[in-house]
Homo-oligomer: A and B are copies of this chain.
Amino acid sequence: MAKLWHKDYSLDTLIEQFTVGDDNVLDRDLVNADCVASMAHADMLRSMAVLTSEQYDSLRKELRAIIEMSDRGEFPIEPADEDCHTAIENHLTAALGESGKRIHTGRSRNDQVIAALRLYTRAYLLELQAACLELASGLADFAQTHRNLPMPGRTHMQIAMPSSVGLWAGAFAEQIVDDLRLAAAAYQLNNRSPLGSAASYGVPLALDRERVADALAFSGVQNNVLYVNNSRGKLESIVLDAVSQIMLTLSKLAQDLILFSMPEFCYFTLPREICTGSSIMPQKRNPAMLELIRAKTFTVTGYCLQVKGIVAGLPSGYNQDFQETKAALIGGARIGLASVRVMNLVIGKLTVNEDRLIQGFIPEIYATDRALELVAEGMPFRDAYREIGAHLDDVQGMDPHQAIEKKHYRGAPGNLGLDLVRGDIARMRGEMEREGARIDKKIENLVGRPVAFYR
């Protein structure tokens, strides 16, 4: 079908391919979002009498039909369509004639794309939060189960001081919860309606932006119409930065698990049904999924960098460069969610080998404890440190369980405070579920059925 801006001459084929890029593939993820946003826009056009009620009803019905096709994987976006927005308008015009030709009144593809991306991102961030909270909860449970299990604490990857499996797992539970604070900031910035911005400068029509925002369950309108377009890409990079923080946490967890499941440590065992094999070595059980999480951390950082680089130095208003941020957003989003889910599965299947953990408690791990015993007898710390340091071979071992229990102030191995992180998880889960229910209700009001914006 024709492009929305079709002229009476043809675009060079090489240029056409280059400018369309992968949009016709990527946009499969945005069809539902664009249909719903179009419905809200049409509803406003009806309130402005640009559309009749009949026209609105037929548009709504047809948009719902597109959603259903899309859910079945049957709504095609041809390269000649450029993107989902054109495919949808073309479909509406073919099916309904004049109503289809009217739906673009008062909007531009620019704000359509932004609106679709915000609905997509909103749904994504809710799923990401849910998955993260499940992982944090799994880690907190794991920490609780193994709270008294000794584990050598390391710094510089060398043996440092007595620690516990509980402290180790609890650290990650807290970290993921903290990571979600950035996802929450991204959520708030994202959850505002861009519609009415048009091509960045508004239109000479009496658009009712609040009505549209409310129908789409946005928290409100993003005010300045130029700012709407100027925030394109930036918002994507904020989302990707939030994802990258989660990946950084998973990366450390993955590295710990890869290291500590090597035969030389064997603190943890990864069950064979989550490990991959080798084409040549019959014995291999490889922690491929953990290595991929480690690697994909950089994939996400790289995507984020692409987006920030693209928007840096762009002048105000829409620039085609923005198109190039879409694949990075969608690619990075998918990686983040899949990685969290995979890690959650790994933690759920992890076995802990107490004997190997205890074996790691070589005497020198107690050097600091022994120095602090001298401190308890009145020696200044720096003198005690030097005294022990000068006679390292004489450092006596101790019971690793007791070594943990003696560190019993808040947050230390003997006092993990898991109730705190569990309280945070419960609170965040509640807020998230209320927000999800609020949105679902509004969308169902508008569309007449639930819609999956991220899948």
* Among candidates B102, B105, B227, B310, residue contacting A295 with C-beta atoms closer than 8 Å: B310
Closest to A297 in B: B312
Task: Find the B residue at minimum CB distance from A259.
Answer: B315
Bound-state Cα–Cα, A306 to B295, Å: 8
**A282, B155: Cα distance in complex, Å:** 13
Contact A11 B302 (CB under 8 A): no
Does any Cβ of B come within 8 Å of A437's Cβ? no
A167 touches B252 (CB 8 A): no
Q: Which B residues are in CB contact (< 8 Å) with A15?
A: 273-274, 276, 289, 342, 345
Please indicate the chain B residues that have their CB under 8 angstroms from the CB of A328 in the complex.
299, 302
Measured CA separation A408–B339 after assembly (Å)? 42
Q: Are A245 and B238 in contact (CB under 8 A)?
A: yes
Give the one of A181, A222, A314 with max B CB within 10 A: A314
Q: Does the CB pair A406–B204 fall under 8 Å?
A: yes
Interface size class of A (residues with CB under 8 A): 35 or more
Copies in the complex: 4
Whether A282 lies near B168 (C-beta < 8 A) is no
CB of A278 within 8 A of CB of B108, answer yes
Asked whether any CB of chain B lies closer than 8 Å to the CB of A432, the reply is no
Partner of A85, one of B279, B287, B311, B385: B279
* Interface status of A427 (Cβ within 8 A of chain B): no
Residue of B nearest to A82 (CB): B276
Q: Sample 25 A-B pairs with CB under 8 A, ordered by A number.
A: A5-B276, A10-B273, A18-B342, A19-B276, A98-B380, A100-B382, A101-B381, A101-B382, A155-B200, A155-B281, A155-B317, A159-B283, A174-B223, A184-B185, A185-B185, A199-B281, A201-B412, A202-B407, A223-B421, A225-B411, A255-B315, A280-B385, A282-B371, A291-B319, A313-B313
